[in-house]
Amino acid sequence: MFLIGIIALPWMAAILQGLPSPSLVKRCAAFLGFALPLAGVVWFGIFQKQLEPYTLGWGSAALHFGMPSGFLLLTFLGAIIGLAAWNRSALFRGLLLWVYGATLCLFSSTDFVSFFFYEMTVLPSFLIVLCFGSDNRKSAIEMMLFSLLRSILWGVFFLWIFKQGNDLQALASFDDNLHFTQWSFPLFLLGLGIAYAVPFYTWAPKFYTAAPLPLVWLQLAIRLFIPYIIWQKMGPLFPKSFAYWNETLCFVGMASFVFVMAAAPKNGRVAYLCVAQGGLAIFALTSMGHFQLWFLMQTVGIALLFATSRGPCKGFRALLIGLAILCLLFPGFGPFPGAYAILMAAWQQSLILGIGAAIGLFLTLVNCLKVIRLEEPSA
């Protein structure tokens, strides 16, 4: 019940933003909605030893929640977002709290319903960019259209498999069906490609450029975690299907990574750095265990680069750039060991993938250095 309370706090605060009450009360409620989950997780870490998974509902309609290892980092990010959103309008805070609540559910859910929580972040993100984004608000419409297409593909896939039954053993039996592997499973992979891969990536740089900074941070956290969810929940059920498409995933992911890094324009390098992580996310599905720390450090570093020129963080520019360098470039802080793991994994797949990984990582380093040197962390 403790975990459910933490997850419900942002949504309760979001509802309060729409009720008639003084502005200060709404601001305080919004900040508490962002900050109290962090306080709850810290309290649990100090006074509790183990959190038992919690089940909400019963039977086949039950939802299962647990506390993953990255939950503390997410709640810490939420507290920072609460400070950044203090002076925003009630509508902005309410929509952002909704995205944050859905993100907490996305991180903590241990069922396939995680993908439903992912979809719950799309509409409020669209409204935030449409109402509060920069001049390039047509990116919100483009994002919504691509997200709708991805939702249709994933919806057809999940409805079809769950129509056969909710038992995990029954679902795993599909993996022995070659027809499922060749024709049904690609629906899910195509939906993933719309979110992450070339040539569908074109909506993402515009979206990151137009979105307000607090939303960018949340979307980066989601972008980091989705590949892990796929690997954790679908990898054990459909190992043969993943193995069948393994080579395709490797080449599509690496091609997306290299192409996006090579296409990064002068005035939009950070947005393209964000999108390039999607290509590596697809590649990482083939060997997820090696890349979690690398993804984490890259995401934090890119978020810091965004913060150096946007929002209320301009006064801390030197500090934020220094932290970004540690996350993105400095040996021993995650990226270099992660980059080595990527190179080795790609090289083991094929010579072409190894060369592509080397080129992509070199372009990433060049773009990071240019962002810092030219002091153009955002588009």
Q: How far is CA 61 from the centre of its chain?
A: 26
Query: What is the Cα–Cα distance from 176 to 238, expressed in whole angstroms?
Result: 9
High-pLDDT (> 90) share of the chain, %? 10
- 75-89 pLDDT, tens digit each: 888 888 888 888 889
High-pLDDT (> 70) share of the chain, %? 69
pLDDT for the residue numbered 99: 93
pLDDT for the residue numbered 95: 94
- 277-324 pLDDT, tens digit each: 677 677 766 655 445 555 556 666 666 666 665 544 444 556 666 666
- 185-224 pLDDT, tens digit each: 888 888 888 877 777 777 888 888 888 888 888 887 787 7
- What integer is the mean pLDDT of 46-64? 61
- 119-152 pLDDT, tens digit each: 899 999 999 998 888 765 778 888 888 989 988 9
pLDDT greater at residue 166 or residue 94? 94
pLDDT for the residue numbered 284: 67
Q: Which residues pair with 55 in a beta bridge?
A: 64
- 229-251 pLDDT, tens digit each: 777 778 788 888 888 888 888 88
Residue 332: is its pLDDT beyond 50?
A: no
The answer to whether the pTM exceeds 0.85 is: no
Query: What is the Cα–Cα distance from 156 to 190, expressed in whole angstroms?
Result: 12
Domain spans, the chain: 1-111, 148-379
- 163-173 pLDDT, tens digit each: 766 566 667 77
pLDDT for the residue numbered 333: 46
Residue 175: is its pLDDT beyond 90?
A: no
Q: Which two tokens stand for residue 353?
A: 């993938």
